[in-house]
Amino acid sequence: MPFFILSLIVQLGLVVHVLKTGRNMSWIFILLFFPLIGTLAYLIVELLPEFSNSRAAYKARHNLSRRVNPDRELRQATQQLAVADTVKNALALAEQYLQKERYAEARELYARYLKGIHADDPQLMVGLARSQFGLGEFDAAAATLESFKEKNPDFRSAEGHLLYARTQDELGKTESAIHEYEALRRYYPGPEPTCRLAAVLKRSGQAQQACELFQKIVDESRIAGHHYNNVNKQWVAMALRESQAV
């Protein structure tokens, strides 16, 4: 009984804290209907970061906040564009659409702002290509990126370059894809292009070269720091799996 009373006091105290500090009202529902898990989550996500400015604490708070209220950033971006019709706000909303795989809406938004003085805007053009790629419009994405390169010859975009290599891969243009992935490997900040290159080589019958590239990624991951392996875990895991399959 004393434990029950104590837990109830803590639970009600946290609800009051939510109301007084203007936290997301979703916390009240979580605290009332999932008292144990909700209390722990609130302590870790909302209170602990106040006593710690570490990146890990901020990341935990941000991730859980997105789970509790997954559409918050989308709503904010929508409201900001409604208040101020600017390219900056349009880019923010389009990015939210892309993250939620609402590619058709993202494509429409990018296309709407690619006009006038922004007709050659690098961010808008790469964003449009991303939405086209997401919709499976690989020819259109490739054409957009080729136009982007022609109109912005001095603008380097690792993201745009990787996307172009992927369009070549999806279109079955193996030699072009290999060429682009090879070029990306020289400056791209991560193993993704190398991993994708190895996959193309493997599919085209060049198993030995593919195996060497996969093993290279595995070897580099073993001496890289925790941050590198965490950021690139998808590609490191793929390389490890493929190197062990030989």
- 165 and 83 share a domain? yes
- 34 and 100 share a domain? no
The structure's pTM equals: 0.73
Angle between helices 87-99 and 72-83 (to 10 degrees): 160
DSSP three-state, residue 99: helix
Is 199 a member of any domain? no
Q: What is the pLDDT of residue 32?
A: 76
> Quick check: 64 and 45 in contact, CB under 8 A?
yes
Structure tokens at 179: 């060429």
CB-based contacts of 27: which residues, under 8 Å, 6+ apart?
A: 14, 18, 38, 42, 46, 68
- 90 and 133 share a domain? yes
| Domain harbouring 88, CATH code | 1.25.40.10
**Residue 50 CB: number of other CB atoms within 10 A?**
10
Q: In this model, does residue 106 exceed pLDDT 60?
A: yes
- 104 and 167 share a domain? yes
- 141 and 164 share a domain? yes
- 58 and 89 share a domain? no
Give the confidence band of 227 by pLDDT, cuts at 50, 70, 90.
confident
Q: What percent of the chain has pLDDT over 90?
A: 65
Residue that finishes a domain, picked among 139, 154, 186: 186
pLDDT in tens, 112-155: 999 999 999 999 999 999 999 999 999 999 999 999 999 999 99
Classify each residue of 89-99 as buried b or exposed e, where b means 16 or more C-beta atoms within 10 Å of its C-beta: bbbbbbbbbbe
- 11 and 33 share a domain? yes
Residue that finishes a domain, picked among 50, 68, 86: 68
- 180 and 212 share a domain? no
pLDDT in tens, 39-78: 777 777 776 766 555 555 555 555 555 565 677 899 999 9
Is 55 a member of any domain? yes
- 88 and 116 share a domain? yes
Q: What span, in angstroms and rounded, lies between the C-alpha atoms of 130 and 159?
A: 9
Full residue range of the structural domain in which residue 140 is found: 72-186
Is 198 a member of any domain? no
Is 134 a member of any domain? yes
- 233 and 220 share a domain? yes
- Mean pLDDT score of the chain: 87
Is 192 a member of any domain? no
- 142 and 42 share a domain? no
Give the confidence band of 15 by pLDDT, cuts at 50, 70, 90.
confident
Is 196 a member of any domain? no
